[in-house]
Structure 1
Amino acid sequence: MTLNAASTNTTKPPRARDGLRALSGVALTVAAFCALPMLAVLIAALSGGTETVQHLIQTVLGRYTTTTLLLVLLVSAGTFAIGVGAAWLVTMTRFPGAKFLEIALVLPLAFPAYVLAYAYTHVLDHPGIVQESLRDVTGWGPRDYWFPEIRSLGGAAAMLVLVLYPYVYLLARAAFLQQSSTTFLAARALGSSAWSAFFKVSLPLARPAIAGGVLLAVMETIADFGTVAYFGVQTFATGIYTSWFSMFDRAAAAQLALCLLSFALLLAMLERAQRGKAQYHDPARRTQSAPPSELTGWQAAAALVLCGVPVLFGAVLPVVILVTMGLESEQNLFSPRYLGFMRNSVTLAGIAALLTVLAAISVGFFRRLRPGRVSQGAAYVARLGYAVPGGVIAVGLLVPFAMFDNALDAWMRATFDFSTGLLITGSIWLLVLAYLVRFLAAALGAYEGGQAMVHANMDAAARSLGQTPLGTLRRVHLPILAPSLLTALLIVFVDVMKELPATLIMRPFNYDTLAVQAYRLASDERLNGAAVPSLVIVAMGLLPVILICRQVGRQR
């Protein structure tokens, strides 16, 4: 009979009970911190008064809503087309370069969208090399021709599509690999062409995975600030920042954050619902994977172009452009100032990654030890942060902690004639907490994926040998989960390096990071200078992407 560690001896020694209490306390505290920004935004928005709401409705709310929805639709369509098409071609067909491209298609995931925005603006804007060469060759003046405007809604959507399609590609490719050849070959035997069988059989079977990838891309889209702000596209993300810092209207910022939070939570619910219905992607049921079809002639050339273009424009060209821009700039990467930016970025990312992984371990292990509504609810709340944009989390944390700091300072002044200043909101720890809330879902997903390898009998055996729950975690789980935890650590580290809106809003004075420096230089139209910190961010982003690429290469 299979034993379950959670249902073994109910009479536990005091040390075991204390360990369980400590674990449950940490897990529930983490969940409470994850819920705090959403509750704070709700309270601040409701206390803002109807005047602010009416002003928003009459002025910017319609524009923000329309622009955000259009951006979401464009990015959804683009990531679906590129991600699904590339995944199908490299999985179900064979053509020259397919082996290389099935790994290279993941590389754009290392780039923040705002970095691509800086690179392509430098090349495609009016004074850029493309339009300048066009004018030199044709002799046209500035008003004699039309050229697509890179700083536009379409330009922002293109940048986001190029860096977000790997989400769809990875999940769609995994779904296609898991599909049996039986249904596809049956459709072909009944007279369907390869394209018809794809649309009628393969695509519907992979729908849950594809929908999950598209929803991840959409959540990243509504959370993006750097790209849309640089291109002057007015979305909810830019509206929150403008209301908070330019207009100093905290109520308006909170109410805009509430609108964006509602949309993000709706997307999270959709992602959870579609993931719960994906019951027929069971590798144990498949008989034999569909053999790839050999493409020749123009079909092979077309497949090579279709799969190579996203890699070219999403990774290769941006690196070439950024390196060229960096060499032309006057920024010294090894100057004390830049070393300070790198030190600040690595410090924040390192602390946030370590604390986030520890929080993921506490929530995930608590759920394993005590399955039930409390632990399930804690895990669900902990995952919501990934669906909440960084600007919303920043507003949601600043409001309550600023009230606490001001109340404490007033009490200390009145009682001891001593000012405490901003103890929490003026430190990096509140920013680290924002990172933890934002990226805990990524760490929790990696931890739970590895935890599935640890059978319940291992827990029972450890407990029968006298191990406490925390001893079981330390001596059994963590050694087995070391690769998954390392992956989670690297993913959170790089995500924090790229995070911009929360860092802009919450960073302490004179505590700038590489992302902030790149944004500041780009805002001042010093794009050559912005290329230098952008290249460092991209180099950091390649670490987890290389791990993902290695995993993709093993899936065959």
Structure 2
Amino acid sequence: MLEKNRLLKASSWGVSLLLALPILAIFITSFGQTDDLFSHLLASVMGTYTSNTLLLVSGVVVLSLLMGVPSAWLMASFRVPGDRVLQWALVLPLAIPGYIVGYIYTDWFDFAGPVQIYLRDVMGWQSASEYWFPDIRTLPGACFVLALVLHPYIYLLARTAFMEQSRTMTHTARLLGCSPLHSFLRVSFPLARPAVAVGASLVAMETLGDFGTVHFFAVNTLTTAVYDTWLGYSNLNAAAKISAFMLLAIFLLISGERYSRRKQKLFSQSAAPDQVEKEILTGWKKVVAAVWCWGLFILAFAAPMAQLVFYAVDYISDSSFTDFVQYSINSVYISSIAACIALFIAILVNIYPRFRGSSLSKVPNRISSLGYAVPGTVLAIGVLIPLTSADHIVNFIAVKFDMGRPGLLFSGTMFALIAAFVVRFSAVAIGSVESSLSKISPSLDMAARTMGCNARLTFSRVQLPLIRRGCLIAALLVFIESMKELNASLLLRPFNFETLATYVFNYASDEQLEYAGMPAILLVLVGLIPLILINRSLEQTHK
């Protein structure tokens, strides 16, 4: 028994350290010798890249707050026409990749797009010099598109926070003469601030790691700097330095968010089911609320999705069905492997503290979850560094023993891509398995041990059957996230290997998304699955 516990401990710590190795590799490489390229970038364009990144993150967060918080408050507190549909429909924009929405809106609002053509026909304008129209392919345009896609992070967390608030507080504010708006500003929003802050930090991290949208909008950020430095200049050292700077920015962002509410404490009883009575809106307030919520849903999801369906139907004869099938198989294959490995890791790092019980035993769990906060482009750098070293070692040993030169066994194959998926999305599986295990009473474990079951039998006969649903959800979430991942796929895929995400992005970057309508729709449909699961869980919690 002692030997098995030691094996479980060693395996848990070993796996967690392997998952943290890419992050450590980035910092170690960044302290290497500074070359001329990085000095040139630092003196010429890094200031612009940094300022663009700060403006982009700030703009997306502000717009996401303006979109997500009011809609969350309306859905949680008022009866809006169609609110039973809206409460889950407002989450759906998360399923559409930002670069797809960016392409569609650019196609609509460019000079040659249908909107400006219609305005010129109606108003009699002949050229662009006769009128002014906002340029969509700019930094503000990228902020708007990313906010449309990412604001559901804030909506989900803020809506949950508003629904959990005790109605006695808002009722008291109303009795004291506050209008619904004043009650929101003075009571509801301050109580929901921690959840809103977490949602804003998620939006900021997703924006910081976005590559597809900013690349399409020609907005140079630190993420595009990493991509161009690596692939354009073939300089891994300089790319690692920029990546380390981004990791530091993410660390400061998370630390700042937590520090800002370090003294904030909330002692409030959650609203009971019978307390959650939504106010019925009438008159112009009802119209404004309906237009706001339904308009946001149409702009962020319904209209882009309708355009994708039109592309798929209208250009079906020009699309390559063979390529679509092959790239779908590629995506399913590597995503399934990543999901299985991530699930195994999640079970391992969660079972160890379950049997050990000490605070130190929870450290591997936390270490294994670090990769989720790292943007895919940066993580690709971190994965490539140790894998390249491993390839050099293997080739050196093979040559030493006259076995030939095997080549790139790790960094040049699907191994690198799967490793990146596992490092980045293991946190998703770990959280799901941890939540399922926490619902199992320790008394069941004790009863199994008193009946002679060791740790292995206790897990296989007691715990595993009870967490089976959580394990399936964990594997499904990792599978779906891996299917949609673009940044790491672009940088780590083997030659002549495409996934659905890279296939759609290549057409979008060539401004030919209409030929990839079916793969784009499949990506969106795959992304809907976790959103449906999350929304159903939220509804069951507050019934």
Q: What TM-score bracket applies, with the shorter chain setting the length?
A: over 0.9
**Residue deviations 1:115-149 (CA, integer Å, cap 9, x gap):** 21122222222222222222232332233222222
Distance 1:510 1:120 in 2: 30
Instruction: Report if the CA contact (8 A) 2:26-2:243 is conserved.
Output: yes
The residue that corresponds to 1:45 in the other structure is 30
**Residue deviations 1:283-326 (CA, integer Å, cap 9, x gap):** 56879635321100110111111111221111100111111122
The residue that corresponds to 2:247 in the other structure is 261
**Residue deviations 1:488-534 (CA, integer Å, cap 9, x gap):** 22222121111111111101111111111111112222121233321
Distance 1:528 1:291 in 2: 46
**Partner residue of 1:225 out of 199, 211, 215:** 211
Distance 2:301 2:37 in 1: 43
The residue that corresponds to 1:235 in the other structure is 221
1:79 deviation in Å? 1.7
The residue that corresponds to 2:430 in the other structure is 444
Distance 1:377 1:38 in 2: 16
Instruction: Report if the CA contact (8 A) 2:103-2:511 is conserved.
Output: no
The residue that corresponds to 2:117 in the other structure is 132
The amino acid of 1:35's aligned partner reads A
- Out of 388-397 and 179-188, give the one that drifted further: 179-188
- Out of 42-51 and 223-232, give the one that drifted further: 42-51
Structure 1 residues 103 and 431: CA distance shift in structure 2, 3 A = same
Distance 1:291 1:303 in 2: 17
The amino acid of 1:376's aligned partner reads K
**Partner residue of 2:498 out of 500, 503, 512:** 512
Distance 1:284 1:88 in 2: 16
Paired residues for 1:344-383 under 5 Å: 344-383=330-369
The residue that corresponds to 1:83 in the other structure is 68
Instruction: Report if the CA contact (8 A) 2:319-2:515 is conserved.
Output: no
Instruction: Report if the CA contact (8 A) 1:388-1:438 is conserved.
Output: yes
Instruction: Report if the CA contact (8 A) 1:103-1:552 is conserved.
Output: no
- Out of 217-226 and 327-336, give the one that drifted further: 327-336
Distance 1:163 1:37 in 2: 29
**Residue deviations 1:167-209 (CA, integer Å, cap 9, x gap):** 1111111111111112222222222222111111111111111
SS of structure 2 residue aligned to 1:206 = helix
The residue that corresponds to 1:67 in the other structure is 52
Distance 1:460 1:286 in 2: 34
Distance 1:191 1:274 in 2: 31
Distance 1:246 1:85 in 2: 43
Structure 1 residues 271 and 432: CA distance shift in structure 2, 3 A = farther
- Out of 384-393 and 488-497, give the one that drifted further: 488-497
SS of structure 2 residue aligned to 1:512 = coil
Structure 1 residues 271 and 368: CA distance shift in structure 2, 3 A = farther
The residue that corresponds to 2:185 in the other structure is 199
The residue that corresponds to 1:157 in the other structure is 143
Paired residues for 1:255-334 under 5 Å: 255-270=241-256, 280=266, 289-329=275-315
Instruction: Report if the CA contact (8 A) 2:318-2:515 is conserved.
Output: no
Paired residues for 1:361-440 under 5 Å: 361-416=347-402, 418-440=404-426
**Partner residue of 2:484 out of 465, 476, 498:** 498
Instruction: Report if the CA contact (8 A) 1:38-1:396 is conserved.
Output: yes
Instruction: Report if the CA contact (8 A) 1:37-1:392 is conserved.
Output: no
Structure 1 residues 197 and 301: CA distance shift in structure 2, 3 A = same
Residue ranges of structure 1 left out of the alignment (5+ in a row): 1-13
**Structure-2-length-normalised TM-score:** 0.94
Instruction: Report if the CA contact (8 A) 1:119-1:531 is conserved.
Output: no
1:25 deviation in Å? 2.7
Tell me, yes or no, if structure 1 residue 113 matches structure 2 residue 98.
yes
Number of residues of Structure 1 aligned to a counterpart in Structure 2? 541
Instruction: Report if the CA contact (8 A) 1:64-1:239 is conserved.
Output: yes
- Out of 65-74 and 354-363, give the one that drifted further: 354-363
- Out of 344-353 and 546-555, give the one that drifted further: 546-555
The amino acid of 2:155's aligned partner reads Y
Distance 2:142 2:206 in 1: 13
1:60 deviation in Å? 1.8
Structure 1 residues 50 and 243: CA distance shift in structure 2, 3 A = closer
Instruction: Report if the CA contact (8 A) 2:157-2:196 is conserved.
Output: yes
Residue ranges of structure 2 left out of the alignment (5+ in a row): none
Distance 1:332 1:347 in 2: 26
Tell me, yes or no, if structure 1 residue 29 matches structure 2 residue 14.
yes
Distance 1:304 1:81 in 2: 16
Structure 1 residues 316 and 24: CA distance shift in structure 2, 3 A = same
Distance 2:456 2:266 in 1: 36
- Out of 411-420 and 255-264, give the one that drifted further: 411-420
Counting aligned pairs with the same residue, the percent is: 39
1:441 deviation in Å? 1.8
Distance 2:465 2:259 in 1: 33
Structure 1 residues 345 and 282: CA distance shift in structure 2, 3 A = farther
Distance 1:505 1:378 in 2: 28
The amino acid of 2:7's aligned partner reads A
Tell me, yes or no, if structure 1 residue 477 matches structure 2 residue 470.
no
Distance 2:232 2:358 in 1: 46
Structure 1 residues 518 and 113: CA distance shift in structure 2, 3 A = same
Instruction: Report if the CA contact (8 A) 1:209-1:275 is conserved.
Output: no
The amino acid of 1:337's aligned partner reads D
1:220 deviation in Å? 1.0
**Partner residue of 1:252 out of 221, 224, 238:** 238
- Out of 462-471 and 151-160, give the one that drifted further: 462-471
Structure 1 residues 267 and 447: CA distance shift in structure 2, 3 A = farther
The residue that corresponds to 1:468 in the other structure is 454
Instruction: Report if the CA contact (8 A) 2:99-2:508 is conserved.
Output: no
Distance 2:275 2:31 in 1: 54
Distance 1:97 1:208 in 2: 29
1:239 deviation in Å? 0.6
Structure 1 residues 267 and 363: CA distance shift in structure 2, 3 A = farther
- Out of 294-303 and 458-467, give the one that drifted further: 458-467
Distance 1:285 1:465 in 2: 42
Give the CA RMSD over aligned residues. Answer: 2.2
The residue that corresponds to 1:9 in the other structure is none
Instruction: Report if the CA contact (8 A) 1:494-1:541 is conserved.
Output: yes
The amino acid of 2:407's aligned partner reads G
